[in-house]
């Protein structure tokens, strides 16, 4: 009987020790320790390199169709007697890419206040154009002394047309504003997500390197 009572008390003691140990493992750090579980989440601040990466990706692509027109002059000298001046047209397609210069994007933070300086968007470049033989039209040539239009003539004609369309795109304020807004919206989304993680209500203040109409809501 005594052995049974002794065994009973030993079992109760072991259960008590295990219960104390579990309570010690699950309790929050005391005042001498670090922060409690609710206070251990550190604020994640916006990072300039990430914002510049976003701007690098936040491009606006515009498909365009253009026509290059040129004249192949008749040659000079005895060997070109009878040649005819020829006019030709080439229809071709390409892609224009708009975006902001990431090297000009800057950011300053002051607590929950985030000040971002963003430049006006610009034309970043045109993709390689494409056209088919069906897109090529030319005036008639003479039967005898011909004045052929070469591949070099075609390339030169398109090069001139591309320079003209670059100028048009560079002055297209509506397209530039859309490209800038795309970058802004992606940056705002990035900072908003950081705020949700950190439980910080970041307030964004936009500064512009050049004056441009702000079409964002």
35 within some domain: yes
Q: Are residues 29 and 82 in the same domain?
A: no
Could you give the angle at the alpha carbon of 163 between the alpha carbons of 160 and 56, nearest 5°? 145
SS3 label, residue 210: coil
pLDDT in tens, the chain (217 residues): 444 434 333 444 333 333 333 433 333 344 444 444 344 446 678 999 999 999 998 899 999 999 999 998 877 777 667 788 899 999 999 999 999 999 999 999 999 999 999 999 999 999 888 877 778 888 888 878 888 888 899 989 999 999 999 999 999 999 999 999 999 999 999 999 999 999 999 999 999 986 444 444 4
Are β-strands 203-208 and 60-72 bridged in parallel, bridged antiparallel, or unpaired?
unpaired
Total domain count, the chain: 2
Quote the pTM value. Answer: 0.66
DSSP string for residues in 52-114: HHHHHH--EEEEEEEEEEEEEPPP-SGGGTT---EEEEEEEEEEEEEE--GGG-EEEEETTEE
Cα separation, 212 vs 193, whole angstroms:
27
Strands (E), 100-178: 106-110, 113-118, 122-126, 136-138
| 83 lies in the same domain as 29 | no
Residue 137 lies inside a defined structural domain of this protein: yes
Beta-carbon contacts of 4 under 8 Å, excluding residues fewer than 6 positions away, are none
In a domain, 217, yes or no: no
Count of beta carbons in the 10 Å neighbourhood of residue 169 = 19
């Amino acid at each position: 009987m005594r052995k049974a009572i002794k065994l009973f008390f030993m079992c109760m003691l072991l259960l008590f020790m295990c219960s104390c140990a579990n309570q010690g493992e699950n309790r929050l750090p005391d005042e001498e320790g670090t922060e409690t579980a609710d206070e251990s989440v550190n604020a994640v601040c916006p990072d300039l390199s990430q914002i510049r990466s976003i701007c690098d990706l936040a491009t606006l692509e515009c498909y365009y169709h253009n026509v290059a027109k040129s004249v192949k002059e008749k040659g000079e000298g005895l060997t070109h007697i009878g040649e005819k001046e020829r006019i030709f047209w080439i229809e071709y397609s390409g892609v224009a890419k708009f975006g902001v210069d990431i090297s000009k994007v800057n950011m300053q933070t002051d607590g929950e206040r985030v000040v971002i300086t963003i430049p006006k968007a610009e034309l970043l470049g045109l993709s390689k154009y494409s056209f088919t033989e069906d897109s090529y039209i030319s005036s008639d040539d003479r039967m005898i002394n011909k004045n052929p239009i070469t591949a070099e003539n075609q390339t030169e004609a398109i090069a001139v047309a591309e320079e003209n369309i670059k100028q048009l795109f560079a002055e297209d304020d509506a397209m530039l504003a859309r490209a800038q807004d795309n970058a802004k919206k992606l940056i705002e989304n990035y900072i908003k997500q950081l705020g949700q993680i950190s439980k910080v209500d970041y307030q964004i203040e936009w500064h512009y390197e050049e004056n441009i109409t702000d079409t964002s809501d």
